Amino acid sequence: MCIRMEGRNDWNTATAIWTNPPKQVGKAQTAHRKGKTLNYTSSSFEQGTDATLCVRFKGINRVACDKIKHIGDRTSF
């Protein structure tokens, strides 16, 4: 299981990804099965700076965590 965060500074969207879950778990209400993975993406929300965000799926004891990093303003070219 892993976590992917996308966003800017305090505001992020978290995606939890569980590789090779049992087939019966694919009937979750909010997660979606994509091939051999079960995915759930949250809506964007504000966590604050230097917070640790953790995700888990019901029915599994594993937890994936990542620390939110403030990257400052960036300009795209």
Cβ–Cβ < 8 Å for 4, 37: no
pLDDT, tens digit (0-9, with 9 covering 90-100), for 29-45: 678 888 888 888 888 88
Integer Cα distance of 20 and 2 in angstroms: 12
pLDDT on residue 63: 87
pTM for the full predicted model: 0.64
Cβ–Cβ < 8 Å for 53, 68: yes
pLDDT band at 75 (very low <50, low <70, confident <90, very high): low
Rounded to an integer, the average pLDDT of 67-74 is 70
